[in-house]
Each structure stands twice: as structure tokens, then as C-alpha cells.
Amino acid sequence: MDAGLSLPGRSPRVRCSAIIRGKLAAIAILMVTGLTHGQTESSLSLNMSTGRALTAETSTSPIQSTDAGELLTEQSVVAAVLANNPSVEQMVAAWRAAQARVQQERALDDPMIGASVAPQSFRSNDVGYRIEASQKFYFPGKRHLRGRAAAFEASAAKRDIERIRQELAEEASQAYYDYFLVFRSIAINAESVEIVKQLKANAESRFATGKALQQDVLQADVETGRLEEQRLSLTRLEAVNRARLNTLLNREPNESLATVPDELITPMPLDEPSTLQARALAQRPELQALAQQAEAERARWALACKEYCPDFEIIGAYDTFWRAPDGDLRAMVGVRVNAPIRRGRRNAAVAEAQSRVAEKILAYRRAENDVRFEVTEAYEGVRESDSVVRLYSEKLIQTAEQSVSQAQSAYATNRSDFLTLLTAQRSLIDLRMRYYEAFAESYKRRAALRKAVGDPVGGS
């Protein structure tokens, strides 16, 4: 945690006196050395074109179904979702609104212009009247602190843009791998149907020569029906997952999508948990937003302390009330100063601001603990999925293939029945399905780990 995020002391009056005596000089130095209106605004905020760049993507990866053989990849889906999903633009609009508050908070109040007359002078040739103008000036440092608080709030709102981008990227990755899994399952189902057809033809041939029972043919028909039921379920899942992807892409649910690859590449090894946690604490946008909000509350706390100091109103006027007859108008200048004697109200405001600083700091500490847990949980999930993938690819599927091969040899030599062969084949099909489930789950958990670590997405 940042060293500046420390809990405030318990006595608001003591802390306020220290701020009034010491921080005025520091603020003045900052203002002299360049933390002026224009410089602060340029350093703590971005212009509107930068805001548009936060949602613009340079990727033109294929999304719609084409005839050019282009494949739908995770990177292309994530880039398209970040470029088209309205949630990002919503957060950009919120950031721009917060950014616009900075200049408003730094601005002076409008000048006041007034006029007054003496009604009893209407019957005379010398009508008494007064014209005046005034401008309120805040105690030095107040407008700076207001702008500082607003600038930190705008910075926190900008972190929310990256947070929603990371959440969308994770959701897009999850949807993509669900879509990939459905297509691989449909392909395995189609292959299985062809294998069962071959087994049925073999059973029919053996039945015709008296080497098998008719029950073998009927069992093949039952297995074909089971696979047909599975195909219907997978067809529904394909439509649902396509609608989910299209919704993330801000498109009609039934629009077509490009084809997914037949296989996934083996993912890269993971970094050590300590490295991942350190990265998460340094770059998670939620933590950065809380830190910025804590600084905004610190600025408001300092501002509450400055409310013990008076503001000024400069007045300039012309009037006829004390001029000589037929003489020129007399000019007058003056000043008004509020008397900050209602200390009970100001003490309560300081205590409130102090408590809000403590609230944000404690929220930051709690969020740090949550981030550590999220990274650990996501890391262990990826490790588990990778182990399951290796278990299927290096042992279970190979063993199931050997079992099918032996069952085929045994059935061909009448040493085993057709049901044993069919059961072995069904086990192999199920294991292949579960292998791709585990592979897709491994990638989905990696997407969750990237989000937990707070890695930038979409080239940001």
C-alpha cells in the first residue's frame, strides 16, 4: 500500500491547526512551482480525444462469418467487444463528467452587480442612487483544494474505465471458449455418429452370418438415438452461446459468427504466485481508484480545515448620497469578510472529512486482502485445470483408446460381446468431450487470472 495512505489522527482540531499553519506554505510552493490551473488539469486528466481512444481498437480481426476461411480467435473477440460494447462508452461518459468538474471547482463565483435608489429623493431634482459591483475571493488555497479533490475523483473515474474493460475482456474470453467448446463437442458428436454407424454395419453383417445377435444391432440403434439427443442439446447450446457473444458485441443475437479453430495451442506457463500478487497490487484499477478517492477525501479534509479562515468580497461603488449638489459621482471601495465564528459546525465538518479519509483507507486495505485472495484462488484454479488437461491427454484418453482397440479385437474373435465394445467406445467419446471441457476451462480460468492480476487489455 502507498505510504501516503495512512489513517488520520483522532483529534480534528489539532490536525486542523497543523494543516492551517503548515500546509498553506506547501500549497503556495506548489502553486509557485507550476501546479497551476492549466498544468494540473493537463497532468491529472486527459482530453476528449484520449477518451475516444480508450474505446477505439486498431484490430480488424474477423467476427462475422466469411468465405475466406478466417477463424474467430479470442483476441479478435476481445478487441471487438471492447470496441463495440456500450458499457465502455458509459464509463467514458462518467469519466468526462467527472473531468468537467475540475474547472468548475476551481472557478471564481460570478461577480455581483447591484443598484439602489432612495425613493424619497424622487420629488427632488437630485435623485439619490447607488451603483456597485463586487467579487468574492476565497481564502488562498481553497479553490486549489476543491480542484484537487475533483481532479482525483476524475482520475478515479478513469480507473473505472479500465476496470470495466477488464471485466468485459474476461466475459468475452469466457464466452469465446464456451463457444469453442460447443463446436468441438458438435464435431466429436458427428464423428461418434459415424463410428456407431460403422459398428452397426459390422453388427448387421455378423448377424447375417449368424455370428452375432440381433440385440447388437438394436443396441447400436439405441446408441445412435442417444447421440442424436446429445446433438439436439449441443445445437441449442450453440445458439445460446452465439447469442451471448453477439450481445457482448452489441449485435443481434442471431447474427452469424466466423468459425472457431479446431484446436487450441498449449498455454504458456504461469508466473509465481508472489509475482502475480505484486503485479495485482500495483495495477488493479480498483485499488488505484480507491487510492485516488482517498486523496480526494484528503483534499476535502484540508478544505474543511480552511473553512476556519475567512473569505473576502471586494466591493466598488459609485453613489450620490454624499456628494455635493451638482457634483460628480463619488467612488467608493470596500471589503466584506465573513466571520467564521460558528466553530461547532466547522468542527463537525472536519470530523466528517477525517472519517471519510479513514473510510477510504480502510476500504483500500480490505480491497488489498481481497485482491490477494482473488489472485490465489484464480492461480490455483488454473493449476488444477492444467493438471486435469495433462491427465486426460497423457493417460485417460490413451487408455480409453487401447480399451476400444482391445474390445474391437475381442468382438471380432467372439471373445467379447457387442455391448462391451459399445461401452468402451462410449467411454472414449465421453473422455474426449471432457478433455476439451478441461482445455476450455483452463483458458477460461486464465482469463479470470488476468482479470484478478489486473493486466491491461486491448492494448491499453
**273-319: pLDDT as tens digits:** 999 999 999 999 999 999 999 999 999 999 999 999 999 999 999 88
Residue 342 included in any domain? yes
Q: Give the count of domains, the chain.
A: 1
**Would the pLDDT of 54 be above 50?**
no
Let me know: does 449 contact 279? Beta carbons within 8 Å: no
Helix, strand, coil share (%) of the chain residues, nearest 5: 70, 5, 25
**Strand 312-319 relative to strand 129-137: parallel, antiparallel, unpaired?**
antiparallel
Residue 459 included in any domain? no
Indicate the helix (H) or strand (E) that contains 113: strand 112-117
**387-410: pLDDT as tens digits:** 999 999 999 999 999 999 999 899
Q: Mean of the per-residue pLDDT values for the chain?
A: 83
Residue 87's contacts (CB-CB under 8 Å, 6 or more residues apart) are 164, 168
Indicate the helix (H) or strand (E) that contains 390: helix 343-391
Strand partners, 114: 132
Given this model, what pLDDT does residue 44 score?
Answer: 33
Q: What is the CATH number of the domain that holds 68?
A: 1.20.1600.10
Cα–Cα distances in Å, from 26 out to 32, 36, 136, 141, 389? 10, 14, 24, 10, 60
| Phi-psi region at 73: left, alpha or beta (left = phi > 0; alpha = psi -120 to 50) | beta
Structural domain harbouring 323: 12-453
**204-239: pLDDT as tens digits:** 888 888 877 888 889 889 999 999 999 999 999 999
As given in the structure block, the three cell numbers for residue 212 are 452375432
**Would the pLDDT of 33 be above 90?**
no
**Selected residue with higher pLDDT from 8 and 229:** 229
Residue 5 included in any domain? no
What share of the chain in percent tops pLDDT 90? 61
Give the ranges where 130-213 is alpha helix by DSSP (H): 142-208
**404-417: pLDDT as tens digits:** 999 989 988 888 88
Name the phi and psi angles at 334, rounded to 5: -160, 180
Indicate the residue type of 201.
Answer: A
> How does residue 6 score in pLDDT terms, banded at 50, 70 and 90?
low
**Would the pLDDT of 385 be above 60?**
yes
Given this model, what pLDDT does residue 94 score?
Answer: 92
Residue 215 included in any domain? yes
Between CA 249 and CA 256 the distance in angstroms is 12
Residue 341 included in any domain? yes
**323-356: pLDDT as tens digits:** 665 666 678 899 999 999 999 999 999 999 999 9
Name the phi and psi angles at 115, rounded to 5: -145, 145
